[in-house]
Structure 1
């Protein structure tokens, strides 16, 4: 009896062959991979589903429903969820996958046999792209650093993070003697988050290095942009991205340039610390870099600097862009609803008075404990992020090696991806319990005030940070940064939009857009 190779076995074979090829030979690989995709689609078409799970019909093999979904993901998600129910199959991005909604979401997110990192890596392999040894920095090891070193120390890190946010803001707006129009919120927020993250990750001394800050700010977007397919047909063959990322990691001057600059920038400080640690009177730096030097020795053959750069790249990719994007979403909601700003500023001043802190004072006005008491601001954050334009998200792969059967009888075979119907769980009043009689499609800023549901609390109807034991471990740091950024803007500046804010209806970005003016408040 002949045993047909699995999809993953063939992909591994292609990756092995591809690692020995020059970039000029990618065309041949693409042709071969197209044939492999057609082969598996052929099998999918003629292998009948045993669980009778409904499926979105499509006309053209290989392309499936990808084009229809990409053109209008909201309409697609609403239509097929209404017609097929909470669990159904859809052919997206070159493979048949399962979409789950409502109560079935927990069966995916709380089951350790479904893995988020495995699924994401199929489309965005950070380790391959940034030349990070995959066996050294895994999803679990990165999580441990955040859980054990970052989150427990947020209170201690907050003062330097706030100071860095202020510096980052001034990097973009300057002295601001006159009102200034900016084309987008993202660049302002991105610089602020890069400064704050660097102060915690590599320490206050290295955070003064503007070249390193530029890397923290831009690396995710710059390297990620290398993956944008120049030919739209690439979206139908996401498996090719893995091959492309391996090549970019090895040969791209952009990747090599960032690595070299980071190594050169960090090496003197690393050497200074290693030498200083020999002195009993040495004052230990308090940051993630020092934790890495003490607790995570490099592998033989890898320099200490290169090892630390690998870790910094991992932390940057996981945090700076996502936090900046989410902060951008919240600020655009405020620009769309400017009447909220006065009420949020009033809350801020009231909390400061309660703590005996003078309104308008420096960075100490935004301590860890004070920021936690901005409950209206927290509600605005949760509500704005609940309404973020995302559709089928948080894909997870069945890594168990065997069929997993959901409570409704649907079978998820080994290697198949499951998408979470983010749109449904966040917006459908038949399922979402946050409605309290108010339309869930509307932005209601005070929806979560005094509900015991802060913006860091994950749940079936708030999936921004995932759910279960693998929920984003850095969400407390991210929300702390977002709330501090907004609090600083409200305290010291007036901001107003100069055009209609546009919220996207696309799978390419979750960020709104629109020009705005920022000006200093008169003291």
Structure 2
């Protein structure tokens, strides 16, 4: 265990003061593996070159580690609901007022219900067709080739997830969509702050975009090139400087220790260096060790937007040196769509604006290293071309 500072009962304070410095000091003093107590739990921290073992070995499970968090969340939700009921019981109000509120509440517009119905209407014919093909394959005595997508996965494991009907399945898909939109929007928002912090990059991104669009045949002949352009997917894929900028942003902003994506050892495990992890131990990745390693190149602690130009390191390519989307069996399958969405947003931003500035430059470091979902108390000023 990494020794605690006098007066500290965990490593929380030291880590929150400077996560980068804490991770660096521990790695230099205690090697590639060390134990810490962070945010209420003991963890074994694994650094390079052993990150791939954690991510690819069947001996560790993120879902098992997440179960503990789910139990805490469930207790919190139950306590909150009971507290709310207690307030409601002891708050004096007219029974007629209560009845009026109930009637009014039912008449309110529910956008979630509308989007859920859209998913149900779209999914029903697909499911019926799959059931038909599965029945035909069964009658012919051959194995049906199951589609490899989230819908089929949820249908196959309906009992496991305790789904009652199609509405349950679609509600689960809707939750996944909300999660994906949230994380992608957060990354796109972070990209704007990096454009503000490194203003010279916008000129290069705009220059690259114009060169590519000039070489591509317009899709819509009715557009006036002087005022508007087509932005086909083929053009976005060719924007290698934009891709490099986004990959470098992810590399630079990710938290040094991936506490939110921890793993639990399903059995005793011995790493290739002989270190043994007991069953039940919680493991987190020292992302700093991979993101500042020799594979990244020179000046790994600095933000260099064109670091990956002319290198086989696209923003969707995962590895121990690039872990925002995970690694191994649980690498994010939606990263291809997410990166494309972020690139399209970036391309549209540099098309319309020539400069972005932070309202408070003194909070630049805070903005560049904000954690996922964390609000950034620093506004942006965008200047139209």
TM range (shorter): 0.7 to 0.9
Q: CA deviation at 1:240?
A: 3.8
Q: RMSD value over aligned CA atoms?
A: 3.7
Q: How many residues align?
A: 331
Is the 8 Å Cα contact of residues 73 and 507 (structure 1) preserved in structure 2? no
Partner of 1:6 in structure 2?
none
**Structure 1 residues 314 and 267: CA distance shift in structure 2, 3 A:** closer
The structure 2 residue matched to 1:87, chosen from 33, 46, 67, is 33
Mapping for residues 459-470 of structure 1, pairs under 5 Å: 459-470=319-330
User: How far, CA to CA, are the matches of 1:251 and 1:276 in structure 2?
Assistant: 44
Out of 504-513 and 480-489, give the one that drifted further: 504-513
- Find the residue that maps to 1:102 and give its secondary structure: coil
User: How far, CA to CA, are the matches of 1:425 and 1:264 in structure 2?
Assistant: 43
- Deviations along 1:101-149, one digit per CA (max 9) or x if unpaired, are 11011111111221223324433x3xxxxxxxxxxxxxxxxxxxxxxxx
The structure 2 residue matched to 1:313, chosen from 150, 155, 175, is 175
- The structure with the larger Rg is 2
Q: Which runs of 5+ in 2 are unaligned?
A: 86-104, 130-148, 219-223
The structure 2 residue matched to 1:265, chosen from 114, 119, 132, is 114
- Deviations along 1:326-352, one digit per CA (max 9) or x if unpaired, are 222222111112121121111111111
User: How far, CA to CA, are the matches of 1:64 and 1:517 in structure 2?
Assistant: 40
**Structure 1 residues 79 and 62: CA distance shift in structure 2, 3 A:** closer
**Structure 1 residues 106 and 474: CA distance shift in structure 2, 3 A:** same
User: How far, CA to CA, are the matches of 2:356 and 2:12 in structure 1?
Assistant: 38
Partner of 1:222 in structure 2?
none
Q: Which runs of 5+ in 1 are unaligned?
A: 1-54, 126-238, 281-289
Mapping for residues 205-224 of structure 1, pairs under 5 Å: none
Is the 8 Å Cα contact of residues 263 and 309 (structure 1) preserved in structure 2? no
Please state if 1:347 is matched with 2:208.
yes
Q: CA deviation at 1:481?
A: 0.8
Mapping for residues 444-523 of structure 1, pairs under 5 Å: 444-497=304-357, 498-500=359-361, 502-504=364-366, 514-521=378-385
Partner of 1:74 in structure 2?
20
Q: CA deviation at 1:512?
A: 5.4
User: How far, CA to CA, are the matches of 1:474 and 1:458 in structure 2?
Assistant: 12
TM-score with structure 1 length normalisation?
Answer: 0.56
- Find the residue that maps to 2:21 and give its secondary structure: helix
- Deviations along 1:132-168, one digit per CA (max 9) or x if unpaired, are xxxxxxxxxxxxxxxxxxxxxxxxxxxxxxxxxxxxx
Is the 8 Å Cα contact of residues 263 and 305 (structure 1) preserved in structure 2? no
- Find the residue that maps to 1:502 and give its secondary structure: helix
Please state if 1:380 is matched with 2:249.
no
- Deviations along 1:394-428, one digit per CA (max 9) or x if unpaired, are 6443342x21011122211112111111122212x
- Find the residue that maps to 1:433 and give its secondary structure: helix
Partner of 1:209 in structure 2?
none
- Deviations along 1:347-392, one digit per CA (max 9) or x if unpaired, are 1111112222375776x72222211100011111111111104121
TM-score with structure 2 length normalisation?
Answer: 0.74
User: How far, CA to CA, are the matches of 2:125 and 2:327 in structure 1?
Assistant: 42
**Structure 1 residues 415 and 386: CA distance shift in structure 2, 3 A:** same
Partner of 1:199 in structure 2?
none
Partner of 1:218 in structure 2?
none
Q: CA deviation at 1:482?
A: 0.7
**Structure 1 residues 361 and 116: CA distance shift in structure 2, 3 A:** farther
